[in-house]
Amino acid sequence: MPTTVFDQFTRRTADVTAQLAALGIPLTAPAPPPADLNPADPWASNYTAPVDRTGLAWCTAVTMLADHHHTGIDRQVLAADALLRELGIRCLAQLHSDLHAGAPVDYRFTRCPYCSGIGEDPTQPTCGEVGCASWLEFAGHDHVCPVCHGEDFQPEWFAEERMTELEELLADAIEEREERASLRHRIRARLYHRTTRS
């Protein structure tokens, strides 16, 4: 039976929720204790966003954490809860960067952990299903992946482009070095002639 790229998202959530059920971990995160209200801050709130442990974002976060730390997902449940409460789906991009030692992740070369490189939000209907106009592709509409922002994952194509850029930079650096060496040689020669005349 052929599988589509979208089957992997349902498989990911099914695998994680099955593991949670086997471990006896509830599928909805308990609400944290309410924070004390600060009378000096009238805009303060103790509202916390609910966390659905069956959602694709949470399943992706807990899988990323478990894979990085080489632990079971039961050890990373609270960390995934905290990440999703703090930043929502945007936490996945920050988490991905943090797991790469804080370096920015170039999603043209690295597959997005949330959308697996398709560039669209897997939880939203696709542009084809909704019937979006072709010009909306460049207008930043709601179907773009919130983690990689629709970056085009094509390492084969972008690698050639990057190699061309690097070759041009290397050629420029070699040319500049030769110019500097020539200038240093001329300055040295003039200084030598001055000292020999006097």
- Please say whether the beta carbons of 71 and 80 come within 8 A: no
- Please say whether the beta carbons of 90 and 60 come within 8 A: no
Beta-carbon count within 10 A of 9 CB: 19
Q: Using alpha carbons only, give the angle 21, 23, 25 rounded to the nearest 5 degrees.
A: 65
> Which 8-state DSSP code applies to residue 6?
T
Higher pLDDT, 166 or 62: 62
Q: Which tens digits make up the pLDDT trace of 107-164?
A: 888 889 998 888 888 887 766 777 777 666 566 566 788 888 888 888 877 777 777 8
Task: Decide if pLDDT at 181 tops 50.
Answer: yes
Which whole number is the average pLDDT over 1-11?
Answer: 70
**Predicted local confidence at residue 139, as pLDDT:** 61
Distance CA 103, CA 115 (A): 20
Model-level pTM greater than 0.85?
A: no
**Predicted local confidence at residue 173, as pLDDT:** 86
Q: Which tens digits make up the pLDDT trace of 26-81?
A: 888 777 766 666 777 767 666 666 788 888 998 999 999 999 999 988 899 988 88
The domain segmentation of the chain, as residue ranges, is 1-103, 106-153, 155-198
**Predicted local confidence at residue 2, as pLDDT:** 47
Residue type, 146: P
**Predicted local confidence at residue 66, as pLDDT:** 92
**Predicted local confidence at residue 141, as pLDDT:** 63
**Predicted local confidence at residue 18, as pLDDT:** 92
- Please say whether the beta carbons of 10 and 53 come within 8 A: no
